[in-house]
Amino acid sequence: MGNGDVTTDVSPQDGGHGQPVQAPPELPLDFEGFYLGHQEFFHDFAEIHLGSRRTAEEVVHQVFLEILGGWDELLQQGDLEQQTLAVLHRGVTRRLEGDGRPPAFLINGPIAMNLEAVRSQLELNSSADGLYEAILELPTRQFTVIVLRHLLGYPTKRIARYMGLDTRTVDYHGRKGKERLRSRLGLPAAPGKHKKGAGQ
């Protein structure tokens, strides 16, 4: 399965040198399918927060091990995409807290430049301060849609597939996220757009 392979507890960086080779355990086919369909997204999501592909691979490796350990229970609970996204989010947050640092998109130059572009994509005033912090404070689904759409450039259909949501629901969370950012930053609504259902 490549770097971050979930079939072993050995770090992908140390290659397991000097240890006896063991056959990997049998993985449930549905888990293998989930891994193959989500590992790129998990790595991208982790890297944009952690600032390093290698660190992202280490964290995602542990995240997939955690998912594998509770796979049967996750399947029974339903809402698999949201449950596993929560595991990924926790794994990234734990690593950041352990390292005692903010997410990389606050400190990583190229990603910070992407965030500058987000200002125009979200139709935010270029003088708006606190955009980074405001994004961090969004509810989980709104945060995820804003990050995937505007920082990673994922199209709506791809975001919907990874989040296990309808494309209209993704658009809804994107709109609500932008509204919340404007409100948080004290900015007026985008020109020519009227708030519908403001009381909802």
Q: What is the pLDDT of residues 106-164, one digit of tens each?
A: 666 555 566 666 666 666 655 556 777 788 888 888 988 988 888 888 899 999 988 88
Output the pLDDT for position 98. 94
Torsion-angle region of 92 (φ positive above 0: left; ψ -120 to 50: alpha; else: beta): alpha
Environment class of 8 (CB within 10 Å of its CB; exposed 0-12, middle 13-18, buried 19+)? middle
HSE-up of 128 (CA within 13 Å, CB side)?
Answer: 25
DSSP track, 3-48: TT-TT-SS-TTTTTTTS---PPPPPPHHHHHHHHHHHHHHHHHHHH
Higher pLDDT, 105 or 59: 59
Output the pLDDT for position 111. 58
Q: What is the pLDDT of residues 171-196, one digit of tens each?
A: 999 999 989 988 888 777 665 554 44
Please tell me the distance from the alpha carbon of residue 141 to that of residue 176, in angstroms, as a whole number.
Answer: 10
Q: What is the pLDDT of residues 9-49, one digit of tens each?
A: 444 444 445 555 555 568 889 999 999 989 999 998 899 88
Higher pLDDT, 45 or 78: 45
Q: What is the pLDDT of residues 145-156, one digit of tens each?
A: 988 888 888 899
Question: Any idea of the CA torsion for 57, 61, 62, 66, to the nearest 10 degrees?
Answer: 140
Output the pLDDT for position 161. 87
Q: Which two tokens stand for residue 51?
A: 């600032």
CA distances from 197 to 60, 67, 125, 176 (A): 39, 38, 24, 12
For residue 63, pLDDT over 90 is answered with: yes
Average pLDDT over residues 74-100: 90
